[in-house]
Structure formats: structure tokens, C-alpha cells
Amino acid sequence: AASVFLGMELVTLSLVALFVLPMDRPALEAGYKFLILGAAAAAMLLFGFALAHAATGSLELSAWSARGVLVSLGAALLLAGLAFKFALVPFHMWTPDAFSGAPAAAAALAGVASKIGVLLVLLRLDAAGPPEPVWSLGLMLTGAGSILLGNLLSLRQESLVRMLGYSSIAHSGYLAVALGSGAALAPEAALFYLAAYAPALLAALCVAARLGPDPQRDDLRGLVWRNPLAGLSLALALLSMAGLPLAAGFLGKFYVFSALIAAGHWPALAVAIAGSALGLYYYLRFLTISFRQAPEAEPLALSPGDALLLALCALLTAWIGVYPQPLVALARAALP
């Protein structure tokens, strides 16, 4: 438990430093909000561990399977603290500000690296046998709320980066409902989903950073003709996040839906399908405008590093979507 807490807080403090690095007003606002909310989440994590220790006399995660009021209350507080790190409703509001105010590299770390860390903690806690129904019910409720709210708020966005921030909340929701389902397939589904989502988000944030500070939807007009690599990489990334076939995100959502069906969680499945339908609309809004020819549009220049990153992300997204078996085998091998 102590190593989990220290690891989570080291990630949080590192992200705060990266968020405020530009030292302008949006970056400072994002950093302050993340720091204050992160302190509240840290307090909940500590209190949750303290209650579990009071009930079991141990800080080992193997004692997690004990039953009792204190352990259940500790589990609820621990889940609330992890929900902040995972950008789950109702601890999600730092996400769009962090994406729009922080440097692109910091936003990518917040959207991908921090999720990987929290997911590994959740998998470790889930394997220890958390108290039911507090744990699974909490994951299902926060996950379903994140899917709905993240997708609904994304519908209103004209800013590419804020849209990616709000949709990141929804993607965290898909991971949460998969883990909360309790299906045998759930850990594998969550790992596969995150691995499929990561290259798409990295590519989208890289393109957004090269379009300038806080690019709007109209700034994407004619992007495919201004720079084919940037435009096509962004298009593939958005198709993957929307969950369309032949892209990695389609198989990620298929995995999550399969876990929900196997566990018989039909209300959560309906929410996940409705969220995917909403996501299809707003992702295509940003995608289609990049193919419209823009009169007198200036070419978009990319550095060699940007071009290499976009090419690798596009290759991974397409490869996983067409030939997922190596990633499936890797996800299975990573589980105990």
C-alpha cells in the first residue's frame, strides 16, 4: 500500500511540474487545479489505506480480501482517490484544462502514462479480491457516468485539444466498466483497450501541437492537403478512437463489450454502445473537415521527430486493427 501511494504521488507531482513548464496563465491554471485536486485525492487514498489497516492490521494488498465495514469504506475512499488519477466522473474536471493548458508532451503523459500506472494498480487490487459490491459497483457507476458525460461534453467542443480531453474521460470510463464487470476477460480487455488507445491519442496531440496553441476545428480545414502525413495520421487516430473497423480502437471496444456481455451487465453495455454512437458523431466532425480543400491554405511543416512519431503511431494503430494477435498474446502474458 505504501509503495502504491508513493508511486501515485510521484506521478502527480511530476505532472504538475510539467504542466506549469510554459509559465503562462493557461499552464499555471492547469497546474494549480491539478495540484489542489491531487492533494484532495491523496488525502482520500491515505484515509482509505488507514481504514483498511485499522480493520486488517496490515498494509499488504493481500489483506484486501478481508470483509467488514471499515474495509468497505476504505475501498470506497481508495477508489475515489484513484478515480481522480484516472479522470473518472466526478473527479474529472482537471482533464480538459490540463490538455488545453499544458504542453502537448505533458498532456500525452497525463492521458497515457498516468492511465497505465493507475490501470496496473487497479488490476493489482482487483486480483487481491476487493470487497464486494463496493468495488465493482463503484467502478461501474463511475465508468458509466464517465462514458456519458465525457461523450456529451465532447459534442459541444470546437477546440481539438479540449475535445481530446473530454473524450479521454469517456475512454477511462470504458476501462472502468470493463474492470467493474468482474468478467474473466476484463483485465485482458482493459490492457488491450489502453494499448490500442495510446498511439491514437499521441498522434492526435502531436498534430494539435503543430497546428498552434489551442487549435479549433476550423484550423483543421484542408489538413490532408497541407500535410498528408499529419492529416492522414490524425484521420486514422480519430477513426480508431471512434471505434471504427480496421483501426485498433474497434477491437478495443469489441473487447470491452465482450467482457460486459460475458458478465451480463446489460445496462452498462447499453451505456457503452450509446457513448460509442455519440463519439462517432463528434470524431467525424473533426475528421471530415480535414479533407475539405482550403483555399490559399499554407502547408504545415513537421520536424523529422514529429514525422517519425506520427508514422509510428499510424503504423501501430493500423497494425493492431488488422493483426491484433501479438498484442492479445502480450496482454495475456502480462497478467498473473
pLDDT tens-place string over residues 168-187: 999 999 999 998 888 888 88
Q: Rounded CA gap, 210 and 219, in Å?
A: 11
* 119 vs 116: CA distance, rounded Å: 5
**Quick one: pLDDT at residue 297?**
67
Give the residue ranges of the chain where pLDDT is below 50. none
Residue extents of the structural domains in the chain: 1-334
Number of neighbours of residue 134 by Cβ within 10 angstroms: 17
Q: How far apart are CA 94 and CA 153, in angstroms?
A: 14
Please classify residue 76 by burial: count the beta carbons closer than 10 Å to its beta carbon, then call 0-12 exposed, 13-18 middle and 19+ buried. Answer: middle
Burial 42-73 (b: 16+ CB within 10 A, else e): bebbbbbbebbbebbeeeebebbebeeebbbb
Cβ neighbours of residue 27 under 8 Å, at least 6 residues apart?
A: 19, 20, 21, 101, 102, 103
pLDDT tens digit string along 13-55? 787 888 787 777 777 877 787 788 888 888 888 888 888 778 7
Instruction: Give residues with Cβ within 8 angstroms of 77, minimum separation 6.
Output: 44, 45, 47, 48, 51
The grid coordinates listed for 11 are 506521478
Q: How many other CB atoms are there within 10 angstroms of residue 245's CB atom?
A: 11
Closest CA to 5 of 57, 48, 63: 48
Contact between 224 and 166 (Cβ < 8 Å) = no
Contacts of 19-22 with CB under 8 Å at 24 or more apart are 19/98, 19/101, 19/102, 19/103, 19/106, 19/110, 21/102, 21/103, 21/106, 22/102, 22/103
Q: Could you tell me if 260 and 190 are in contact, meaning their C-beta atoms sit under 8 angstroms apart?
A: no
